[in-house]
Structure 1
């Protein structure tokens, strides 16, 4: 009996035992293995789906963040532009106010100069009138006391002198 000619009883007993063990494994162990594999597949698939969901949410949040960042940059640009325009307006206002103050000061100085000129001219006329009267009195040899006549002559002389300088 060797390996090429097995004992028929042993062969039958072995086949029956193999069938019983195979049937037991197929009935008991294979459903448990399939159940475990299905649970693992479901867990893996569920995790993948959750990961994809989380990735989509992250992408959505990133898109919102980019939009907000873009809006913030745009708003900052507008604020800078408004501040620049406001600064230019303030600078123009300060320049205008300075120009107005300078013009007021120049006008006030011109009025003051004119007033000083008129006062100086009046004082000078009086002084020249007094000197002219004194000089005329020395030439004539006696003091001239007619102040009204002397004033009229001096006024006529000054009017003629002013007409000559203007013409």
Structure 2
């Protein structure tokens, strides 16, 4: 074992040259670290800071761009909704105009059909009256000839007789006939 009486302790070397060499070497290492290692660390730190700051700025720019795109989308959507509402209103107005036009056409068509039907009825009535005059006239002449007992073949006299008979029928009130 080492004797404790002459020893300087575990921190102090036995030879003072070792202490001087240790201090000099420490200063050299410290100078090299201060001149070479620390600037490189500072440079790496600055680069990393710039990358992180650039990433944050890019993210903020992307967020701002996304917000602008969202606002533009919302504006376009609102415009599209307004346009759709306007188109619906135009379609309703056009539908109402078409319905009104179709009603007017239906009224005109029904009036035309009604006037055609009246004209056709009047024509058929005139034809029926003419046919009835001829038949009633013929029957009246035959009946008058039987009653009188002589033939009424004279066409002019028969026509006058038939016309007088029909005129008398027309002048009589409807309830009395």
TM-score by length of 2: 0.81
Unaligned runs of 5+ in 2: 1-6
Which of the two has greater helix per residue?
Answer: 1
Number of the residue aligned with 1:68 = 76
| 1:42 maps to 2:53 | no
Write the distance in 1 (CA, Å) between the matches of 2:68 and 2:34: 48
Write the distance in 2 (CA, Å) between the matches of 1:156 and 1:90: 54
- Deviations, residues 19-43 of structure 1 (Å, cap 9, x unaligned): 2211221122211211111111012
Number of the residue aligned with 1:155 = 166
- Please tell me whether Structure 1 or Structure 2 has the larger radius of gyration of its CA atoms: 2
Write the distance in 1 (CA, Å) between the matches of 2:163 and 2:82: 83
| 1:84 maps to 2:92 | yes
| 1:103 maps to 2:111 | yes
Cα displacement (A) at 1:89: 2.3
Residues 140 and 162 of structure 2 are in contact (CA less than 8 Å); yes or no, is this contact kept in structure 1?
Answer: no
Aligned CA-pair RMSD: 2.2
Cα displacement (A) at 1:149: 4.1
| Secondary structure of residue in 2 paired with 1:164 | coil
Distance 1:66 1:54, change over 3 A: same
Structure 1 stretch displaced more, 50-59 or 70-79:
70-79
| 1:128 maps to 2:125 | no
Number of the residue aligned with 1:12 = 20
- Deviations, residues 97-140 of structure 1 (Å, cap 9, x unaligned): 23321221121011110121122112212321221122111111
Cα displacement (A) at 1:154: 0.9
Unaligned runs of 5+ in 1: none
For these two proteins, the number of residue pairs brought into alignment is: 165
TM-score by length of 1: 0.85
Matches within 5 A, 1:108-119: 108-119=116-127
Write the distance in 1 (CA, Å) between the matches of 2:115 and 2:78: 55
| Secondary structure of residue in 1 paired with 2:170 | helix
Cα displacement (A) at 1:152: 4.5
